[in-house]
Amino acid sequence: MKASARALFTLLLAAVVLCSCEAPGGVSPIFPQPVSPNGQGIYDLYVWISIPAIIIFLGVELALLWVVIRYRRSRQPAGYVPPQVHGNNALEIAWTIAPLIVVLVIAAFSFYTLQKDFQPISNQQMTVIVSGHQFGWDYKYENGIVVHQEGTLSGDVTPFVVPTNTMIKLVFQGTDVIHSWWVPAISGKTDAVPGYDNFSWMKVDKAGVYRGECAELCGVGHSTMQIIVQAMDQKDYDLWVRVQQSGQHG
């Protein structure tokens, strides 16, 4: 019993330590505070799914633990056989319908969120085409500026710069294989598929640097495909645009 308890404690400790580690590119495994409305929608969905999931998990595990302790062999006489219960129709119907209802509710809320966050929008203030390739990202702005993020693990990639409080339509394309653009604080994972356009959007409400990565295994350099989004106030963004257009990228 003591050995099992120590093993369980070790596993829990390892899980906590791993949760404090960052993935390549600085992405934290802990869900970050969202800075865009669609990111907030996914965060809220995550929380409202997690709460009943945790309650159900704890209920099942506590019931299992109670059965294990209550009917453990050391407390029973030799040859003891516990009561055998068969054919309880009400119980069998209940434990079939209850999980079905839970799954259907999760599916309905998930579908609603996905439909809202991953459809083409018509009220955009600017549009950026995001193109994934092995192994990096290109961002093409309407004013002709193109930002290249070539994959690396030796440092930070060139940031994809956006203005705050601006509705930005994102059009995702792939040039070779399927990639998936994912910045947890901003939006969910959106695939960049060759020959097919996918859509999302962002409206970052806070200046800062937000990290992500390619979330689709796309080849040997997959782990190098960092994403860095730098959100600036409008004044700073306008200055950045002028610098890019003048060719002074220092």
For the 31-117 domain, the top CATH level (class) is: mainly alpha
Q: State the angle between helix axes of 89-117 and 37-70 in degrees (0 to 180), rounded to the nearest 10.
A: 160
Averaged pLDDT, 98-107: 91
Question: Which CATH number does the domain 126-246 belong to among 1.10.443.10, 2.60.40.420, 3.40.1050.10, 1.20.1050.90?
Answer: 2.60.40.420
Rg (CA), the chain: 25
User: Is 126-246 in the same CATH topology as 31-117?
Assistant: no
| Pairing outcome for strands 136-141 and 126-133 | antiparallel
- Rounded percentage of the chain residues whose pLDDT exceeds 70: 86
For 26-52, the pLDDT digits (tens) are 455 566 788 999 888 888 888 888 888
Model pLDDT, residue 195: 94
Sorted by sequence, the CB contacts under 8 Å of residue 120 that are 6+ apart come out as 169, 199
Question: How far is Cα 36 from Cα 30, in angstroms, rounded to an integer?
Answer: 17
What letter represents residue 49's amino acid?
Answer: I
How confident is the prediction for the chain on average, in pLDDT? Answer: 86
Q: What is the pLDDT of residues 159-190, one digit of tens each?
A: 999 999 999 999 999 999 999 999 999 988 99
Which stretches within the chain are classed as H helix? Answer: 2-19, 37-70, 89-117, 234-246
**Enclosing H/E stretch for 198:** strand 198-202
Give the pLDDT confidence score for residue 80 in this predicted structure: 80
pLDDT of residue 25: 43
Question: What pLDDT was estimated at residue 9?
Answer: 55
In the chain, domain spans: 31-117, 126-246
Least confident of 21-25, 122-126, 182-186, 211-215: 21-25
Q: Order of strands, edge to edge, in the sheet holding 190-192?
A: 160-163, 226-232, 208-214, 179-182, 190-192
Backbone angles phi, psi at 81, to 5 degrees: -120, 120
Q: Write the single-letter amino acid at 98.
A: A
